[in-house]
Structures are given as structure tokens and as C-alpha cells.
């Protein structure tokens, strides 16, 4: 895995090059998220699109927030053979029908290509905010990846979500070996203490249920709407009675542009 910044990770496995939530815009701009909310991008990507190389598949948790798909990320989509995203997102992207697959939670699709090992992708539930926020925050999904030869369990990318019954269902349905956690405890001044992504404490509670061998934090830095960064995550995990802090693995970021 290569962490490019925010939620953007390049996963190279079983002959595939899979990119999550492409964000490649430079820092400095403020983006509107709707209903009076906005955020300023503070950190640029560690790699430019041309440095990433060819991408076989984009796993796009949602396309309606710029911290998960920005302008340069949208340009990249035109060069990618397949995008897997939400049903609503697939319709809005307007790509060719065979180049986009829209999934609802617990739908499954298979990545299949000549001379490559098939990968099963299951859409996992997300709720991108407090109760009753879905009509405002919009649909989001995570992704659970399985392929032949996995030794200990699936690779799960949570997507932008808070802790709710939908994500608690994931460890009941599957064994997770590695979890890529979207964190940051997103908050906006207009909605006060309400948060729209996992807090550090919620992440600890979720990982206590999941019991993954490896925990990879992403999407906790680089934007003004993040209320918690690496220090808060490390503190919360260090206090876990299950010693979950020993399972944290911070993917290195190369030098990036910062404001």
C-alpha cells in the first residue's frame, strides 16, 4: 500500500493496481460540502497522478465530497477502466455502463481480468454523520476485499463513516485481517459538536469488535474540517486494554506541499 494523502491509497495486490478515493488537487482552495459547510485543503498529495502509474480500478466511497474526489481525481477517472462506487454515484458520474459499477451496502462484485487473480469486493455500510444525516450527507460505502490465498481474512476499507450498527455488522459477517480506517472526527462550525467521521474513541471501539491484525489510519490530515489528527488516534489506541496500539501501522507520506 502507498498512502498518497487523505483517503487516497494505492493498493497493489494479486496483479491489480487499485486506487481508493482519488484526491490530487494542490492545497489552498476551500471546497463547499453543502448545507453551509465547507473545508480548506491544507496539504497536497505525496504523488502526482502521472507518478502513480496505471490504475486498474478505483474504489470510490462517494463522489460528492471533494475530500474524497476532487477535480484532478475526476480527471484521473477518465483513464481508469473501472470505477466501483455507490449506486447514486455511478449514475452521477455518467461514465460508460461497463466502466462503472454501482453498489449498495452488502452488494458484491468481482474484479476479473485475464492473467489476474479475481478479487471479490463487498460494499460495506457507512453513515457519514449523526442519525438522520443520510439525506444531507449522501450515500457512502466501504469496501471489503477478498482473494484466494488470503491467510487471515479480508482487507476492509471503512469509507467515511461514524460508528453505527451498519459497521458493527462487518465483523459479524466476515473476518478482517487488515482495516484501513477513515478517521479525523470531521466537524463543521455550523453543526457544533456533531461529527461526520470516526473519532479516535469510536475507532478503538470498532477495532475492539473487529480485532484486525493490522490497523492503517488514513483520512485524518490535510483538511481544516478534521478535528482529530495522529496524536489523538495514538493516544486513544495506546489506552486500549487489547493493546490495539501495537497494531497501528502508519503508512509513510513522502514530502508534500503544505500551507
Sketch out the chain's domains with CATH numbers: 2-247 (3.60.15.10)
Question: What integer pLDDT is reported at residue 151 of this predicted model?
Answer: 82
Tens of pLDDT along 65-94? Answer: 999 999 999 999 999 999 999 999 999 998
Q: What pLDDT band is residue 215 in, cutting at 50, 70 and 90?
A: very high
Q: Judge whether residue 121 has pLDDT over 60.
A: yes
Mean of per-residue pLDDT scores for the chain:
94
Side-by-side strand order, sheet with 2-5: 2-5, 8-13, 16-20, 57-59, 82-86, 100-103
Question: What integer pLDDT is reported at residue 199 of this predicted model?
Answer: 98
This model's pTM is above 0.75: yes
d(CA 17, CA 23): 16
> H helices then E strands: how many in the chain?
8, 14
Question: What integer pLDDT is reported at residue 97 of this predicted model?
Answer: 64
d(CA 99, CA 132): 32
Q: What pLDDT band is residue 259 in, cutting at 50, 70 and 90?
A: low
**β-strand pairing of 30-34 with 37-40:** antiparallel
Q: Judge whether residue 54 has pLDDT over 70.
A: yes
Tens of pLDDT along 228-246? Answer: 999 999 999 999 999 999 9
Amino acid at each position: 500500500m502507498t498512502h498518497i494523502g487523505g483517503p487516497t491509497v494505492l493498493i497493489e495486490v494479486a496483479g491489480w493496481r487499485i486506487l481508493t478515493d482519488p484526491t490530487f488537487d494542490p492545497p489552498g482552495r476551500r471546497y463547499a460540502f453543502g448545507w453551509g459547510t465547507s473545508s480548506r485543503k491544507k496539504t497536497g498529495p505525496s504523488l502526482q497522478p502521472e507518478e502513480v502509474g496505471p490504475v486498474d480500478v478505483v474504489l470510490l466511497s462517494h463522489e460528492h465530497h471533494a475530500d474524497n474526489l476532487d477535480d484532478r481525481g475526476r480527471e484521473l477517472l477518465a483513464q481508469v477502466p473501472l470505477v466501483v462506487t455507490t449506486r447514486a454515484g455511478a449514475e452521477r458520474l455518467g461514465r460508460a455502463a461497463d466502466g462503472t459499477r454501482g453498489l449498495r451496502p452488502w452488494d458484491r462484485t468481482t474484479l476479473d481480468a485475464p492473467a489476474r487473480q479475481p478479487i471479490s469486493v463487498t460494499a460495506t455500510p457507512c453513515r457519514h454523520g449523526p442519525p438522520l444525516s443520510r439525506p444531507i450527507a449522501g450515500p457512502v460505502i466501504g469496501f471489503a476485499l477478498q482473494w484466494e490465498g488470503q491467510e487471515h481474512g479480508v482487507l476492509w476499507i471503512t469509507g467515511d463513516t461514524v460508528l453505527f450498527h451498519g459497521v458493527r455488522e462487518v465483523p459479524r459477517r466476515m473476518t478482517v485481517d487488515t482495516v484501513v480506517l477513515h478517521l479525523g472526527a470531521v466537524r463543521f462550525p455550523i453543526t457544533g459538536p456533531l461529527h461526520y467521521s470516526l473519532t479516535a474513541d469510536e475507532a478503538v471501539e470498532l477495532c475492539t469488535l473487529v480485532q484486525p491484525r493490522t490497523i492503517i489510519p488514513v483520512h485524518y490530515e490535510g483538511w481544516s474540517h478534521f478535528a482529530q489528527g495522529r496524536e489523538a488516534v495514538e493516544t486513544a489506541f495506546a489506552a486500549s486494554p487489547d493493546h490495539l496500539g501495537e497494531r497501528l501501522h502508519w503508512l509513510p507520506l513522502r514530502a508534500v506541499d503544505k500551507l
